[in-house]
Chains A and B, each alone.
Chain A
Amino acid sequence: MIRISDLSYHHGRTQVLDQVSLTIPKGGITALVGANGAGKSTLLSLIARLTPLQTGSIHVGDLDVSRCPSDMLARNLSILPQNTEVAPRLTVRELVSFGRYPYHKGQPTSEDHTKIDAALQDFDLTPLADRVLDTLSGGQKQRAYVAMTYAQDTDYILLDEPLNNLDIAASRSLMQTLRHLSQEKGRTIVVVMHDLNYACAYADHLVALSNGKIRAEGHPSQVVTNGFLSSVFSTDAHVHHVDQVPVILV
Chain B
Amino acid sequence: MTRKATGVFGLVALLLLMGVSLFVGVMNVSPKDLWHDPEAMRLMGISRLPRTLAAVIAGASLAVTGTIMQMLVRNRFVEPSTAGTGQGAAAGILIATLFFPAVPLFAKMSLAAICALISSFGFLAIVRRLPPTQPLLVPLVGMIYGGILGAGVVFVAYQADLLQYIDIWMNGEFSGVLKGRYELIWVAAAVAALSYLVADQFAIVGMGRVASISLGLNYRQVITIGLVAISIVTALTVVTVGMIPFVGLVVPNITSRLLGDNLRRTLPITALLGAVLVLASDILGRVLRYPFEIPVGTVFGVIGAVVFLWLLYARPGHAR
- Is chain B found bound to chain A in the same assembly? yes
Instruction: Using CB atoms and an 8 Å cutoff, list the residues of chain A in contact with chain B.
Output: 45, 48-50, 70-75, 78-79, 81, 84-91, 94, 97-99, 101-102, 105-106, 130-132, 135, 152
Task: Determine the chain B residues whose CB is within 8 A of the CB of A49 once the complex forms.
Answer: 213
- Are B264 and A106 interface neighbours, CB within 8 A? yes
CA distance A84 to B214 in the complex (A): 12
B318 at the interface (CB under 8 A from A): yes
| Interface CB pairs A-B, < 8 A, 16 | A50-B213, A50-B214, A70-B216, A74-B215, A78-B214, A86-B207, A86-B208, A86-B211, A87-B208, A90-B262, A97-B262, A105-B200, A106-B197, A106-B199, A131-B319, A132-B320
CB of B76, distance to nearest CB on chain A (Å): 8
Task: Determine the chain A residues whose CB is within 8 A of the CB of B197 once the complex forms.
Answer: 106
CA distance A131 to B260 in the complex (A): 11
Partner of A94, one of B214, B260, B320: B260
- Are A71 and B260 interface neighbours, CB within 8 A? no
Task: Determine the chain B residues whose CB is within 8 A of the CB of A81 once the complex forms.
Answer: 210, 214
B204 at the interface (CB under 8 A from A): yes
Given A50-B210, A89-B318, A132-B318, also A102-B215 (CB < 8 A): yes
CB of A105, distance to nearest CB on chain B (Å): 7
- Are B260 and A98 interface neighbours, CB within 8 A? no
Interface range for B: 20 to 34
Task: Determine the chain A residues whose CB is within 8 A of the CB of B214 once the complex forms.
Answer: 48, 50, 74, 78-79, 81
Task: Determine the chain A residues whose CB is within 8 A of the CB of B320 once the complex forms.
Answer: 130-132, 135
CB closest residue in chain A, given B74: A87
CB of A99, distance to nearest CB on chain B (Å): 8
Task: Determine the chain A residues whose CB is within 8 A of the CB of B274 once the complex forms.
Answer: none
The total of interchain contacts (Cβ-Cβ below 8 angstroms) comes to 87
CA distance A98 to B211 in the complex (A): 10
Partner of B216, one of A84, A85, A89, A101: A101
- Are B208 and A89 interface neighbours, CB within 8 A? no
- Are B198 and A106 interface neighbours, CB within 8 A? yes
Closest 10 CB pairs of A and B: A74-B216, A88-B261, A71-B216, A106-B200, A89-B260, A102-B216, A94-B262, A70-B216, A88-B206, A89-B261
Task: Determine the chain B residues whose CB is within 8 A of the CB of A105 once the complex forms.
Answer: 200
CA distance A71 to B264 in the complex (A): 20
A72, A87, A135 — which one has the most chain B CB atoms within 10 A of its CB?
A87
B30 at the interface (CB under 8 A from A): no
- Are A73 and B216 interface neighbours, CB within 8 A? yes
CB of A120, distance to nearest CB on chain B (Å): 14
CA distance A89 to B261 in the complex (A): 5
CB of B70, distance to nearest CB on chain A (Å): 9
CB of A88, distance to nearest CB on chain B (Å): 4
- Are B216 and A132 interface neighbours, CB within 8 A? no
Task: Determine the chain A residues whose CB is within 8 A of the CB of B316 once the complex forms.
Answer: 89, 132
CB closest residue in chain B, given A80: B214
Interface set, chain B 56-84, CB cutoff 8 A to A = 71, 74
B203 at the interface (CB under 8 A from A): yes
CB of A82, distance to nearest CB on chain B (Å): 10
Task: Determine the chain B residues whose CB is within 8 A of the CB of A78 once the complex forms.
Answer: 214
B218 at the interface (CB under 8 A from A): yes
- Are B210 and A101 interface neighbours, CB within 8 A? no
B21 at the interface (CB under 8 A from A): no
B199, B214, B218 — which one has the most chain A CB atoms within 10 A of its CB?
B214
Task: Determine the chain B residues whose CB is within 8 A of the CB of A87 once the complex forms.
Answer: 74, 206-208
B119 at the interface (CB under 8 A from A): no
Interface set, chain B 193-237, CB cutoff 8 A to A = 197-201, 203-204, 206-211, 213-218
Partner of A70, one of B204, B207, B218: B218
- Are B207 and A132 interface neighbours, CB within 8 A? no
B270 at the interface (CB under 8 A from A): no
CA distance A74 to B210 in the complex (A): 12
CA distance A22 to B243 in the complex (A): 58
B281 at the interface (CB under 8 A from A): no
B87 at the interface (CB under 8 A from A): no
CB closest residue in chain A, given B207: A86
Task: Determine the chain B residues whose CB is within 8 A of the CB of A79 once the complex forms.
Answer: 214
CA distance A71 to B217 in the complex (A): 7
B256 at the interface (CB under 8 A from A): yes
Partner of A90, one of B210, B213, B261: B261
CB closest residue in chain B, given A83: B210
Per-residue interface assignment for chain B, residues 309 to 320, with 1 indicating a CB less than 8 Å from any chain A CB and 0 otherwise:
000000010111
- Are B260 and A91 interface neighbours, CB within 8 A? yes
CB closest residue in chain B, given A149: B214
CA distance A102 to B320 in the complex (A): 28
CB of B189, distance to nearest CB on chain A (Å): 21
CB of B186, distance to nearest CB on chain A (Å): 25
CB closest residue in chain A, given B135: A87
- Are A88 and B207 interface neighbours, CB within 8 A? yes
CA distance A138 to B68 in the complex (A): 28
CB of B308, distance to nearest CB on chain A (Å): 16
Given A50-B210, A90-B261, also A98-B215 (CB < 8 A): yes
CB closest residue in chain B, given A158: B214
- Are A98 and B207 interface neighbours, CB within 8 A? yes
- Are B199 and A132 interface neighbours, CB within 8 A? no
B198, B204, B213, B218 — which one has the most chain A CB atoms within 10 A of its CB?
B213
